[in-house]
Chains A and B, each alone.
Chain A
Amino acid sequence: MANPTGIGASVRRREDQRFLTGRGTYTEDIKRPNQTHVHMLRSPYAHARIRGVNAADALKAPGVVAVFTGADMAADNVNSLPCGWLIHSKDGSPMKEPPHFPIARDKARYVGDIVAVVIAETREQAKDAAELIDVGYEDLPAVVSLRQAVDGSAAQVHDEVAGNLCYDWHLGDAAAVDAAFAGAAHVTKLDLVNNRLVPNAMEPRAALGEYDPATGEHTLTTTSQNPHVIRLLMGAFVLGIPEHKLRVVAPDVGGGFGSKIFHYGEEAIVTWAAKKVGRPVKWTAERSESFLSDAHGRDHLTHAELALDKDGNFLALKVSTLANMGAYLSTFSTSIPTYLYATLLAGQYKTPAIYAEVKALFTNTAPVDAYRGAGRPEACYLIERLVEIAAREMGIDKTEIRRRNFVPAEAMPYQTPVALQYDTGDFAKNLDMALPAVDYAGFAQRKAEAAKRGRLRGIGFATYIEACGIAPSNVAGALGARAGLYESAEVRFHPTGSVTVFTGSHSHGQGHETTFAQIVAERFGIPIENVEIVHGDTAKVPFGMGTYGSRSLAVGGSALVKAMDKVERKARKIAAHLMEAAETDIEVKDGRFTVAGTDKSVGIGDIALAAYVPHNFPLDELEPGLDEQAFYDPKNFTYPNGCHVCEVEIDPDTGVVSVESFSAVDDFGRVINPLIVEGQVHGGIVQGIGQALFENCVYDEDTGQLITGSYMDYCMPRAHDVPSFAVSWHEDQPCTHNPLGVKGCGEAGTIGAAAAVMNAVIDALAEHGVTHLDMPATPEKVWRALNQSRPAMAAE
């Protein structure tokens, strides 16, 4: 009988008990004896020279313990926050990496850049005192938008970076693309904006620094998706603290979506300041600070052209993208619009030639980095908009044009012209499952029925493929990655047969404590209650890379399997000894070790006891104990893929778009916990719908002030903005190169949804001559598109 808490079971989450009863422990919940609070004084200017910081009055304010500036950090040799991926330009030159200090030294380069910090007994005292600090700002012209940044006359964010150009990179065969375009029967062209977003994990970032002068040990508790990465970057590069004297803990973390991958200045500030003031130092962002200072996502300007033959077969794709880096290079910023974007431009199609060029530019805005999907939603949106426009222009059904161009399942493994090799995928099957699910045949009738009610109805598709679990490390290293991309796991059997697993992966909503335990329960035939999953503490778990890019199960889960393999290999030897049999005669199933052809067997629990109480144990061959560690470096990316379909209705009088239905058919390889996977898809879809219809991060183009700086101005999707979803998948295309056959599911919804929603919106508007709108399709934008001849609303 299958293990009721094993692989494939919708086990209810074990972490829920504490979250549902208010007993989670998030960073802000931790209170240390004698702790102080730090307030970050942030620049109100987008671009200003700092002439001086006078903190005399602040230092006299009640409760103030200390005030520090960039000069104080410089005096202690605090270094720049490093960037984790080196990109080389077309001409072979390395990208420009201007310094990014935790506290600005010469200039403030975006609204929100930290210029001084105040440490006080309470957070209110720190905040009050910060108002007494006199910073001498010399306001400078700001570079805010991508268009401004590429304008030769624009100001320079960094004096040493000419033209604000971080890099000018390319991928693919330009000559082959040009040749294909020359012979094309049809060319579809598109200019689009991939709108800037604010990730908005519901838990604001927070950090708590502690220092023990007796041992010289530093501890940073932080809202991070990857505590070891923070320890390495902050310890080795920023503060010069050796790893054995630096512990980084990421306790319960309230969502990340990429924004908590990066090493932020505030983490270095609290760690450094805790030693300076000899007391714990705590910081928690207010939401307004999160808007200003969390790394933002997306923000591309793109021109693309798709060449087709007369039958609608794709011949070539040509893409030119400007990508906003913000004022400084955040940890993985440079890899997002390159290796996580351009490499995905083949999508699910056998387009034979692709060429992409990407210019990354500095602006006086918050740093931009990975946000759920990270490059892949941008690629999917671009391809899938082009495909539907081409279908309409050529009079081919939107599903048929896709079908003609899909990489066929029998062509796997498939080498794309943009570096990736897909291992598995049956894209036609995804579409075949989706069509009846959404009653595509009945759409015309639904559209006609909507028209009777005065509504415009549209249907949009998005087929996507993503590359998850970036790897292998040596290939990534050759492409500029400055870190390894493996994952670690340790499986520790205890003497009486229960198990603690230490994983380098990190859960901030994904449910590792349940899913990872299911994998162990399945393998050893033990109840899930006997398995504990430990993560998020560099003092406990082996060096791990954390959780991002839908990698936890594909990479961390594989490390777990490798560690379990080692446990089993040792247990087999112990079992052979205990049963006086040859090791080769031992058969293993569900944690039972049996001598083949006999009824002699021993369970993993008894083996664990023998390992820790080794009275009857092959001590001359084996060490006591049953505790194994493994590191897993993937051989390739994994390639989740799917087909998402959205139907919308538009009220032409108001421009309001309502999402009537959304269906997702996905291929995530093997699924461990269906309940959790569905939840991941739901959440991802709403972030994609958010980008398509609601969310937009806007800076004032003249002043660089963040206009959408709170939930009053930045429109988050709420419960009544979205419907329930139809989510399904198939498991017959498992990943071929990891032991679980898993592909990853965390980002899929976000990657497919924005394109599907916008295709549906344009489909609804097409009969009114609208061929493209940039996201978000707000009521005003839709209404204007429908009423182009009427005077602008603002003028009325």
Chain B
Amino acid sequence: MSCTVTMTVNGKAVTREVEERTLLVHFLREHLALTGTHVGCDTSQCGACVVHVDGRSVKSCTMLAVQAEGASVTTIEGLAAADGTLHPMQAAFREHHGLQCGFCTPGMVMSAVDLVKDNPTPTESEVREGLEGNICRCTGYHNIVKAVLAGAEAMRAGEPAAAAAE
């Protein structure tokens, strides 16, 4: 059985015919070719698929595409500015080497942005608690935590993390 879903993804209205059982993550990856959002597990544990739905971070493997009907979805592809300037959190991850293989990175960055929206001045411990839904196997989290703290500072200052870190 298929049905029609309509939503806004990265600022653009999209409508597609999908199987009803289609998960939001598969809708993004396979119907919209937005392959930046990754699937790292099948039990909603790893967080590689985190996107923003109406401004809140969501594991897009826990949600059917039809549940996002009418919603505004932002994926990692939609995070940087239109001119390509990285979001302060993206810039902070680069500056602080907060990624290695890059697979968990989109989910990690999307979670971090939402974490900082809720708590603009997180402590190291709050960052670690806040990222408990995202697994990284490469970095040992050390530089991710550094990046999120720097990204938070840059988001507060409204300027790129690279400059804030100097």
Q: Which residues of A contact B (CB under 8 A)?
A: 12-13, 15-26, 28-29, 31, 124, 200-204, 252-255, 257, 286-288, 508-511, 675-676, 678-679, 682-687, 710-712, 716, 718-720, 722, 724-725, 749
Contacts and interface: CB of A to CB of B under 8 A. Distances in A.
Contact of B137 (A25, A29, A201, A252): A201
Contacts of A720: 125, 128-129, 131-132
A725 B140 contact: yes
Name the prevailing secondary structure of the A interface residues. Answer: loop
17 contacts: A13-B94, A20-B90, A20-B93, A22-B36, A26-B38, A28-B35, A202-B136, A202-B138, A203-B38, A203-B101, A287-B43, A287-B46, A675-B97, A679-B100, A710-B41, A712-B45, A718-B134
A379 to B, nearest CB: 22
A718 B142 contact: no
B143 interface: yes
B101 A679 contact: no
Nearest to A372: B137
B76 interface: yes
Given A21-B80, A710-B41, A716-B135, A254 B35 contact: no
Contacts of B57: none
A722 B141 contact: yes
A15 B129 contact: no
Contacts of B70: none
Contacts of B139: 679, 682-683
Interface string B105-122: 110010000000000000
A24 B48 CA distance: 14
Interface string B25-59: 00001100111111111110110100000000000
B158 interface: no
A711 B45 contact: yes
A124 B21 contact: yes
A259 to B, nearest CB: 10
B135 to A, nearest CB: 5
B139 to A, nearest CB: 5
A288 B90 CA distance: 30
Given A22-B77, A203-B38, A686-B141, 20 more contacts: A12-B95, A21-B80, A22-B36, A22-B75, A28-B39, A200-B137, A202-B135, A252-B101, A254-B104, A287-B41, A679-B139, A683-B100, A683-B139, A685-B140, A687-B137, A710-B43, A711-B43, A719-B141, A720-B128, A724-B145
Given A19-B102, A716-B137, A711 B142 contact: no
Contact of A24 (B102, B132, B138, B141): B102
Contacts of A718: 131-132, 134-135, 141
B137 A21 contact: no
A21 B86 contact: yes
B19 interface: yes
A21 B94 contact: no
A288 B41 CA distance: 8
Nearest to B76: A22
Contacts of A749: 140
A230 to B, nearest CB: 19
A201 B35 contact: no
A101 to B, nearest CB: 27
A628 B42 CA distance: 47
A32 to B, nearest CB: 13
Interface in B139-161: 139-146
Given A23-B36, A24-B36, A288-B42, A724 B97 contact: no
- Best-buried of B97, B103, B140 by chain A (most CB within 10 Å): B140
Contacts of A725: 140, 142
- Best-buried of B93, B127, B136 by chain A (most CB within 10 Å): B136
Contacts of A26: 35, 38, 103
Given A202-B103, A719-B132, A255 B137 contact: yes
Contacts of B76: 20-22
Given A12-B97, A20-B90, A202 B140 contact: no
Name the prevailing secondary structure of the B interface residues. Answer: loop
Contacts of B33: 31
Contacts of A684: 140
B137 A257 contact: yes
Nearest to B48: A202
B132 A724 contact: no
Contacts of A18: 102
A682 B142 contact: yes
Contacts of B105: 19-20
Contacts of A711: 41, 43, 45-46, 135
A601 B49 CA distance: 55
- Best-buried of A257, A287, A720 by chain B (most CB within 10 Å): A720
A679 B101 CA distance: 11
Given A682-B142, A711-B43, A724-B124, A719 B131 contact: yes
B122 to A, nearest CB: 12
A29 B94 CA distance: 22
Q: Which 8 A-B pairs have the closest CB atoms?
A: A22-B36, A19-B102, A254-B103, A509-B101, A711-B45, A682-B140, A686-B140, A509-B100
A13 B139 CA distance: 14
Contacts of B80: 21
A240 B136 CA distance: 38
A710 B125 CA distance: 27
A678 B139 CA distance: 9
B150 to A, nearest CB: 13
Contacts of B140: 679, 682-687, 722, 725, 749
A20 B94 contact: yes
B73 interface: no
Contacts of A687: 137, 140
- Best-buried of A21, A22, A720 by chain B (most CB within 10 Å): A22
B9 interface: no
Interface string B76-90: 110110000010001
Contact of B99 (A16, A29, A712, A719): A16
B128 A719 contact: yes
B43 to A, nearest CB: 5
A556 B129 CA distance: 39
A509 B138 contact: yes
Contacts of B135: 202, 711, 716, 718
A203 B132 contact: no
B132 to A, nearest CB: 5
A610 to B, nearest CB: 37
Nearest to B45: A711
A22 B137 contact: no
Given A24-B36, A252-B102, A683-B100, A719 B134 contact: yes
Contacts of B40: 202-204, 287
- Best-buried of A31, A682, A684 by chain B (most CB within 10 Å): A682
B101 A254 contact: yes
Nearest to B127: A719
